[in-house]
Structure formats: C-alpha cells, structure tokens
Amino acid sequence: MKTRDLMIPDPITISETATIQDAIELMKVNSIRHLPVVGPGDDLRGFVTLADLKQGLIPSMLGDLDLRDLIIRQPVTVGPDDDIEVAAQKIYKHKIGGMPVVAHNRLVGILTETDILRAFIHMMGFLTASSRVEVAMKADRDDLQKALGVISDAGGEVINVAMTAQQKKKICYFRLTPCRTDSIQRALEAAGFEVLEATD
C-alpha cells in the first residue's frame, strides 16, 4: 500500500501571512490539528500544529510573536509513492501526529497517525467478527507454513497473520473466520506448537 492510498488529498492549508488566530480558527472549524503552510502553486513552506499555535497565542497577543515564528520550516515529509510502512516509521520515529505528502516540493496531501491506524485496523480485520489463535514458535525456525497447514487441516480459515519477536520466540497471531478453536488448538499442540491463547 502506498501513501497516496491513505493520504488526504488537497488538504486545508494556510499562508504564512495569516495570523495565529486565523490558523487556530481554521483548525477549529475543520476539526484538524495540522496545517501545511504553502506559497504560490502549493509550494510547501512549512507546517504548523495546533499544540504549537496554542502555545504561541498569548505571546502573539502581546505582539511578540506571529505565525511565521511557529512554522516548522523543514517538516518531516513523505512522498505519495512511498510505502505506507515508510510513513508509519517516520511518524513513530519522530513522534509526530501527521506530516505533509510532497512531490517535487509541492504539497499533494497530508497523512496523519489516525489514517495509518485506520489502515492497520482494516488490514488486520479488527472490526470484523473473527476467532484468534496465538502461537509461540522458536525464533531460529521458520514454522509458519507448517502452522498454516495444521490450522487449515483442522478446519480453520486464516484471514491474516501478524508476527512479533520476543527474545528466543516468535509469536504468531492467526486471525481466523469465526470458528471453534478448541480442535485447532489441539491440532497445533499435537504438531509440537505452543498455543498461548485461542479465542472463539
């Protein structure tokens, strides 16, 4: 999946000549927390967040600060053709809530942590009825295909698989179409797997 598949195209923007009050009102009316700052031709000039604007509001009323002082001039960005994993890594690494999507320094969209979370929930099928089996595997062995075969032979239909590494173990999370998991658990254990949890 590419960033362009999740980004909000043609996002709401603001000019660097606007006031802090203008920016806050624009965010409030549109229920957003990030504003790309653009020049002519959607040329990206920077990025402002609601948190930064709120901190600058009182000083701006005293005349010591304006919007230009709060703009992040070189924000973290992502390209529309970058894999969504790249965007997620940037948001996580830099601890940011969103970022501009840029092609040739021109703003083409915006991507937020909420957009990425929504995609993750959709991909993992969290909002659909399902059963789940968690299986521990040795980290130095690739038993995924074997486990999939055991689950299938026991009547389970796998929707998706997620995996995490924990020291000497890999934990595989098999999400299945709704079913009774007791027979699947028994089949996996008979095949030598450690079943950590099985939920109908």
Do 129 and 42 sit in the same domain of this protein?
no
Task: Supply the pLDDT for residue 87.
Answer: 94
Please state, in angstroms and as integers, the Cα–Cα distance from residue 49 to each residue in 94, 103, 124, 161, following that order: 14, 21, 30, 36
**CB distance 191 to 146 below 8 Å:** yes
What are the structure tokens assigned to 60, written together?
């701006």
Give me the mean pLDDT over the 162-183 stretch.
87
Digit-coded pLDDT (tens) for 72-93: 999 999 999 999 999 999 999 9
**CB distance 35 to 46 below 8 Å:** no
Task: Supply the pLDDT for residue 111.
Answer: 95
Instruction: State which of 120, 137, 166 marks the end of a domain.
Output: 120
Q: Is the dihedral of CA 62, 65, 70, 71 positive or negative?
A: positive
Please state, in angstroms and as integers, the Cα–Cα distance from residue 127 to each residue in 84, 111, 120, 132, 159, following that order: 21, 22, 11, 13, 13
Do 87 and 70 sit in the same domain of this protein?
yes
Do 83 and 141 sit in the same domain of this protein?
no
Strand boundaries in 126-193, DSSP class E: 131-138, 158-166, 169-176
Digit-coded pLDDT (tens) for 105-162: 899 999 999 999 988 887 776 777 789 999 998 766 678 889 999 999 999 999 888 8
Do 15 and 107 sit in the same domain of this protein?
yes
**At 164, which CATH number?**
3.30.70.260
Digit-coded pLDDT (tens) for 14-49: 999 998 889 999 999 999 999 999 999 899 999 999
Task: Supply the pLDDT for residue 19.
Answer: 87
Digit-coded pLDDT (tens) for 54-64: 887 776 666 77
The answer, yes or no, to whether residue 94 has pLDDT greater than 80, is yes
The answer, yes or no, to whether residue 171 has pLDDT greater than 70, is yes
CB atoms within 10 A of CB 76: 15
186 Cβ contact partners less than 8 Å away, ≥ 6 residues apart: 154
Task: Supply the pLDDT for residue 140.
Answer: 64
Do 27 and 111 sit in the same domain of this protein?
yes
The residue assigned the tokens 């179409």 is: 177
Structural domain of residue 111, as residue ranges?
A: 3-120
Task: Supply the pLDDT for residue 139.
Answer: 66
Do 178 and 90 sit in the same domain of this protein?
no
